Amino acid sequence: MRIAFFSPLGPQRTGIADYSEELLPHLVRHAEVDLFVDGYAPSNRELTARFPAYDHHQFESLRRARRYDVALYQMGNSRAHEYIYRMLPRFPGITVLHEYVLHHLVVEMTVSRGDEAAYVRELGYCHGLAGIEAAREALRDGQRFPYLRYPANRRVVDASFGLIVHSDYVRSLLAADSPGTAVAVVNQHVVPAPIQEGMLELRRSLKLDEDAVLFASFGLATPEKRLGVALRAFRRVRDRFSRSRYLIVGEVPPWHDLQQTVEELGLRGAVDLLGYVEKSDLLRYIAAVDVCVSLRWPTMGETSASTLRLLSAGKPTIVSAVGSFAELPDDCCHRVPVGEEEEERLLEAMLAFAEDATAREAMGLRARQYTQEHHAAQTSAAQYIAFIEKVLA
């Protein structure tokens, strides 16, 4: 089988680029794979040494000579996937839908470039007259876009022979919106985190307190990560664990003023905003902390790669009881509800983990074992091929 593989790759800073680079060495065991990117040279030299890489504009001519059996698209909700969104209607294929909601991408492609009419047309295609009215209302109302009510994924669904998703939650949404569409659930894979050096040495090398209880959140620090709630709970944790600290490891968008939140809560010196770090340092920070907080609301139908990375590293992790998080086993993470009880329940969980190192270790071991058994990249690759063969047949 010969596959044309469309995905952002490094140096682009996206979780889906990491996902694809981890999947490809396993996928190539089953098929010949060519890579198609959007106007840059992939930075992973090991990858380009094994896979031919082309600009997507070359696909139309290459597909005749290379005789691809299928185009395989990795679709996400950011501008890095715009070229895929535009390629799909011209060259339908099988799509890995990493996020159910694509409305943010549609806004980036249209309104952000001053083309409001295109935004209205796109929501009209995806959601009919209701979409047109919603688009016009959002534009009149200061661009308050109805992301959750109108996922804007219809064009991608219509142009796909089949869809691969990462959760039963998204499969159920597609079954309701697009009955009859071929859909397969393939667990999002995670590469097992390497065992790091001893905790004390690791903390010393990262200039972290050796005997403090360290909480942390990882990944792009958007409002959906509920960091305001997490920091309010953490402020109360410090009433009992005065030396505890909270690390936020990941890029903070310029329009999300987390530093102001830290100041308002009186947490200066107790919270470290570390920004984006390279993957090698990211893994060291994960290994160095005691408890991870990985909340999400609202959810766009995504499966959190950063959460799976935390579980694979054997870290006790607190998640939101929504969407794909709800499908994780009860014994390998701790779930808190979204809503009025969120802060109190989060506080209870943070205090319980802070007080009980044995419980932290036990949950971490179960989490690591779970990811090894159910989220292996080689399993994902085999399931990809089985679904592709089924759809093509």
Task: State the CATH number of the domain containing residue 36.
Answer: 3.40.50.2000
**270 and 158 both lie in a single domain:** no
**Under a CB-based contact definition with an 8 Å cutoff, are residues 326 and 169 in contact?**
yes
Q: Is residue 127 part of a domain?
A: no
Would you state the structure tokens that stand for residue 245, as one six-digit string? Answer: 């600290």
**90 and 225 both lie in a single domain:** no
The CB-side HSE value for 348 (13 A sphere, CA atoms) comes to 9
- DSSP code string of 287-355: HH-SEEEE--SS--S---HHHHHHHHTT--EEEESSGGGGGS-GGGSEEE-SSTTHHHHHHHHHHHHHH
**359 and 382 both lie in a single domain:** no
**213 and 290 both lie in a single domain:** yes
Write down the pLDDT at residue 79. 95
**35 and 178 both lie in a single domain:** yes
Q: Is residue 130 part of a domain?
A: no
In total, the chain counts a number of residues equal to 393
**383 and 370 both lie in a single domain:** no
Q: Is residue 139 part of a domain?
A: no
Q: Is residue 125 part of a domain?
A: no
Task: Supply the Cα-derived Rg of the chain in whole angstroms.
Answer: 22
**227 and 324 both lie in a single domain:** yes
> How many CB atoms sit inside 10 A of residue 97's CB?
25
Q: Which domain holds residue 11?
A: 2-102+153-189+376-392
The CB-side HSE value for 150 (13 A sphere, CA atoms) comes to 28
User: Which residues 6+ apart lie within 8 Å of 26 measured at CB?
Assistant: 377, 378, 380, 381
**257 and 357 both lie in a single domain:** yes
**44 and 166 both lie in a single domain:** yes
Q: What is the pLDDT along the chain (393 residues), one digit of tens a residue?
A: 999 999 999 999 899 999 999 999 999 999 999 999 999 999 999 999 999 999 999 999 999 888 999 999 999 999 999 999 999 999 999 999 999 999 999 999 999 999 999 999 999 999 999 999 999 999 998 888 999 999 999 999 999 999 999 999 999 999 999 999 999 999 999 988 777 668 888 999 999 998 899 999 999 899 999 999 999 999 999 999 999 999 999 999 888 889 999 999 999 999 999 999 988 899 999 999 999 999 999 988 899 999 999 999 999 999 999 989 999 999 999 999 999 999 999 999 999 999 999 999 999 999 999 999 999 999 999 999 999 999 999
In tens, the pLDDT along 101-139 reads 999 999 999 999 999 999 999 999 999 999 999 999 999
Q: Which of 374, 366, 334 is nearest to 351 (CA)?
A: 334
**317 and 328 both lie in a single domain:** yes
In tens, the pLDDT along 38-84 reads 999 999 999 999 999 999 999 999 998 889 999 999 999 999 999 99
Total domain count for the chain? 2
**37 and 98 both lie in a single domain:** yes
**Under a CB-based contact definition with an 8 Å cutoff, are residues 313 and 287 in contact?**
yes
**159 and 253 both lie in a single domain:** no
Q: Is residue 123 part of a domain?
A: no
